[in-house]
Amino acid sequence: MPEVSYYPGCSLEATAKDYAESVEGVCEALDIELRELPDWNCCGASAAHSLDHRAALNLGARNLALAAQGPSPLVVPCALCYNRLASARHELLEGDDLVIDEIKALGGGYAGVEVVELNDYLSSPEVTALAKQRATDLDLSGLKAVCYYGCQGQRPPAVTGKADYENPQGLDRLLGALGVTVMDWPFKTDCCGASHSVPRPDLVFTLVAKLYKRALDQGANCIVTGCQMCQANLDMYQEEIAKQMGKQVYLPVLYFTEVMGLALGIDETPKWLKRHLVSPKGLLEKAQLPRQTWERL
Amino acid sequence: MSEPIAGAPNGEPLSSDRPPAPSPEEAIRPDGRWLAQVEAASGVKAGACYGCKKCSNGCPLSFAMDLHPYQVVRYLQLGQMDKLEGSSTVWICASCQTCLTRCPNQVDLPRLMDWLKEELVRRGQAAPEEKVRLFHQLFLKGVAKRGRVFEGELMAGYMLKTGGAFGPEAIKNARLGLTMLKKGRMKLLPERNKDRRWLKALFREPKGGSHA
């Protein structure tokens, strides 16, 4: 049973509870043990790196120092947290002059921690093969999905170490292996506007409208993501954005772990899907999935 | 009207209406001292930019900016800090990293934008995107207090300060809040770090300045 360090991040305790539950459910089904970092702290998100560089680095350094004491790698489900932790690690390789003594006292070792985004971890050839082997024979081909990776998990490549940062393939391959009809599209890593949804929702609406339009043009009937910020921005305001577009939009925004839950036949999957604002009920019914996956949504 | 010139990139006639030349007062007087200071303080080699504009062509938010990202870099090279003080650009940047990723000279524009935000706040400059600044500050205040973010408190605090808790916006916000609560996507009680000594050390008020 592989054991990894796990950094859930603040959103997964609230807005992205569906993501948190599906991550735990899927990892349990695949015998991957998630060891949550003891007493982890917020990554600082956009706020810290925007207003206080020193704080941003230290918030990352503390989590990395905690991770240095646990199993490797450190797996992170939220793309923004992942980016902040990987950026801190990248910067700490240059030196830790800005790190405060209270955090240095945790024992250092932070620059050596391997930070991995959850969707990369779960779409590795090994895990994909395992998921395929344990999957039920449920036919998921009625799900016509575009995979939306977002920006923070990919860029900049000097920090993420990724080779296919302009056109990532991990989720496409994983979902394809599970029988989902995966549609190619050019907006895999385009920005959703992230935390601007609060102070400048108009910007997020403009960016998300472009994503909806392209996804629909591509023939998709759902969007699958591995980032909780993208999920929130695409799921929470869909009705309002569609009204502004003057268009009918019905695009449930699923976490890739929820789709894995369907494929693996995990009973709790409908409980996760029920937390979405755009109900996946119509999608699953039309995709001819068994009644028990959607009747209570 | 002049005739279209063969080979003009978009095939449209070139206009003879040029903007008037700037007056001597308006003309930029380059001040080279700034660049070295900015590079040393931010760690970004802003001087390496040769103006290819790849950053600005790929920027998903340039439509909402008053200065294109390359213009921010150019003004820094020329030492025109005053041109950046009232600009929305640094606050609109969502740090999506497209510009840095594609920059042939690897100028770290997102880091430069962050450095500028921090510098402008330190100077007590009113941000043209006051709400963006406020949201970041309230977020950081919550982190400084508990070590984790409490989304409920952050949203309530933000709405109280921006008027979103009153009037027609309030109804929309309350409805969304209730839906999130019903869906089990909102927590009523905060999580916090058990160990908070390091937070005190990290967010201690520096002399002469203040955090949110």
pLDDT at B12 exceeding the cut of 90: no
Nearest-neighbour CA in chain A from B39: distance (Å):
15
Across the interface, do A47 and B140 touch by the CB < 8 Å criterion? yes
CA distance A67 to A5: 7
Assess whether A238 and A113 both reside in one domain.
no
Question: Is A38 contained in some domain?
Answer: yes
The residue-averaged pLDDT of B4-15 equals 54
Question: Is A238 contained in some domain?
Answer: yes
Count the domains in chain A.
2
Assess whether A115 and A148 both reside in one domain.
no
Please report the beta strands in chain A, taking only residues with DSSP state E, as ranges in sequence order.
3-6, 33-36, 74-76, 115-117, 144-148, 181-183, 222-225, 253-255
Question: Is A126 contained in some domain?
Answer: no
- pLDDT for res B32: 86
The residue-averaged pLDDT of A237-250 equals 97
Nearest-neighbour CA in chain A from B15: distance (Å):
32
pLDDT band at B172 (very low <50, low <70, confident <90, very high): confident
Question: Is A131 contained in some domain?
Answer: no
pLDDT band at B212 (very low <50, low <70, confident <90, very high): very low
Across the interface, do B101 and A165 touch by the CB < 8 Å criterion? yes
Assess whether A259 and A290 both reside in one domain.
yes
Domain boundary among A119, A149, A174: A119
Task: Report the CATH number that the domain containing residue A43 is assigned in CATH.
Answer: 1.20.1050.140
Assess whether A158 and A284 both reside in one domain.
yes
Assess whether A33 and A180 both reside in one domain.
no
pLDDT band at B198 (very low <50, low <70, confident <90, very high): very high
pLDDT band at B28 (very low <50, low <70, confident <90, very high): confident
A240: nearest CA partner in chain B: B172
Across the interface, do B101 and A198 touch by the CB < 8 Å criterion? no
Assess whether A163 and A287 both reside in one domain.
yes
A47: nearest CA partner in chain B: B136
pLDDT at A155 exceeding the cut of 60: yes
B146: nearest CA partner in chain A: A41
pLDDT tens-digit series, residues B31-72:
888 899 999 999 999 999 999 999 999 999 999 999 999 999
Domain boundary among A90, A119, A148: A119
Range of the structural domain that residue A87 is part of: 3-119
- pLDDT for res B209: 42
Question: Is A125 contained in some domain?
Answer: no
pLDDT band at B13 (very low <50, low <70, confident <90, very high): low
pLDDT band at B135 (very low <50, low <70, confident <90, very high): very high
The residue-averaged pLDDT of A160-177 equals 97
pLDDT at B102 exceeding the cut of 60: yes
Residues 6+ apart with CB under 8 A from A194: A46, A80, A152, A204, A229, A233, B94, B95, B96
